[in-house]
A and B are shown apart, each in its own frame.
Chain A
Amino acid sequence: MYEFKYHRPGTVRQAANLLAKNEDAKVIAGGHTLVPVMKQRLASPPHLVDLSHIEGLNEIEMKGRALVIGATATHFEVANSPTVGEAIPALAELAGMIGDPAVRHRGTIGGSLANNDPTADYPAAVMALGATIVTNKRRLKPEEYFQGLFSTALEPDEIITKVLFPLPKKAAYVKFRNQASRYALVGVFVAKRPSDVRVAVTGAGSNGVFRLESFEEALKKRFSHKVLDGLTVAAEGLNSDIHGSAEYRAHLIAVLARRAVEAATAKE
């Protein structure tokens, strides 16, 4: 790991100032993506701005009809929060499937979304639930926020402060784990929202998380796994690597989408 200066701001404003003032400075939240890549010298930020001492940044609460999760809420906190469990159980389940217990004790929702790993779990939930990503500067819809592999709309001095999740009527996430890394080989999040249905896929797209419109259309007519009978997914544009071919991932998407709808409808 290369040398860096370490900063510990007490507020988001101070953190943003440190980012603006120090070129190539980066924030660190749980460190469970950043520390491994710094150890491998794939990243070498000259300044690290630690968000973990900003009070209240990990708060989880209901505000009106939305579930609000603070950026530094850990996967463990989200998985075990009674507020999340009651409002959007599928989201609590998703958080509980990330990595392993020790990773969940440190990794945060903000870090996961800022990193936008194409095989990460949270992007699927944010996309399917139509969540709003709130930063120190603005509010972003998933369609504007996610911009491809490891790439987001965040500016260098922009910090995610919280994520607002509107409550779905029904939702479920099904993940097929990569046997070695336990990230999603394919993960499908299905949400029946008051106005529409969304199906978001992670792990498979060569451009990161995406929505599966043909499945959404079918499910909008009737929210049942039966309407997915005969529907397939094209392999074009999907990832192909040592873990699975594009055809295999296409097949998995259809299977997992079906299971997710079954799980979502079984919940009530």
Chain B
Amino acid sequence: MAKISMIVNGNPVTANVDPRMLLVQFLRENLRLTGTHVGCDTSQCGACVVHLDGRAVKSCTTLAVMADGHEVKTIEGLAADGAPLHPMQEAFREHHGLQCGFCTPGMIMTAVDIVHRKGNDLTDEVIREELEGNLCRCTGYQNIVASIAAGAKAMAKSDLA
């Protein structure tokens, strides 16, 4: 077993884990943060995307021990419970950026990362290119792209990062 400590959604957590535990398992099974999903076993779908030290990563391809000492943000950490949604979440709701919703947490965490790296004015082309690592089996992407463009603009006027 290995002792790990990290900040998850602003809260310090400490645990003893088997070194082979994936970060996504740790988040879902130990911390009960089940918003982060697993959609594949080939590291390609992006349903598991969380932020590690502020950068989008695939938590299904990261060992929990490798996040030791670092900061993790999941979909649950974007906006406080009961508070208004994060502007990117709100944009997905507003623009029908989801159908079954399985890919959505990963899409939104990726989208927020895109805004952090590329700014608030995103062309469709940039969004599509940046969504390379996120698959959706429902929407056909059109509304996801529209949601991200709108969410990016809304983030400029919001206090939520």
Contacts and interface: CB of A to CB of B under 8 A. Distances in A.
B46 interface: yes
A32 B49 CA distance: 14
A32 B59 CA distance: 11
Given A6-B2, A32-B61, A39 B19 contact: no
Interface stretch (A95-103, A152-160, A161-169, A232-240): A95-103
B114 interface: yes
Contacts of B79: none
A1 B20 contact: yes
Contacts of B55: 76, 105
A214 to B, nearest CB: 34
Contacts of A28: 63, 66
A162 to B, nearest CB: 22
Contact of A31 (B41, B46, B66, B130): B66
- Pick from A3, A39, A40 the residue with the most CB of B within 10 Å: A39
Interface in A4-42: 4-6, 8, 28, 31-32, 35-36, 38-40
Nearest to A48: B19
A103 B55 CA distance: 11
Given A3-B20, A100-B133, A106-B62, A39 B46 contact: no
Contacts of A2: 20
B41 A102 contact: no
B58 interface: yes
Interface string B59-77: 0011101100000000000
Q: How large is the interface on A (under 10, 10 to 19, 20 to 34, 35 or more residues)?
A: 20 to 34
A52 B63 CA distance: 12
Q: How large is the interface on B (under 10, 10 to 19, 20 to 34, 35 or more residues)?
A: 20 to 34
Interface in A68-117: 76, 99-103, 105-106
The 5 closest A-B pairs by CB, nearest first: A100-B133, A6-B19, A100-B132, A1-B20, A105-B55
A182 interface: yes
B110 interface: yes
A35 B57 CA distance: 13
A100 B132 CA distance: 5
A50 interface: yes
A106 B20 contact: no
Interface in A131-185: 181-182
A101 B113 contact: yes
A103 B20 contact: no
A102 B110 contact: yes
Contacts of B113: 101
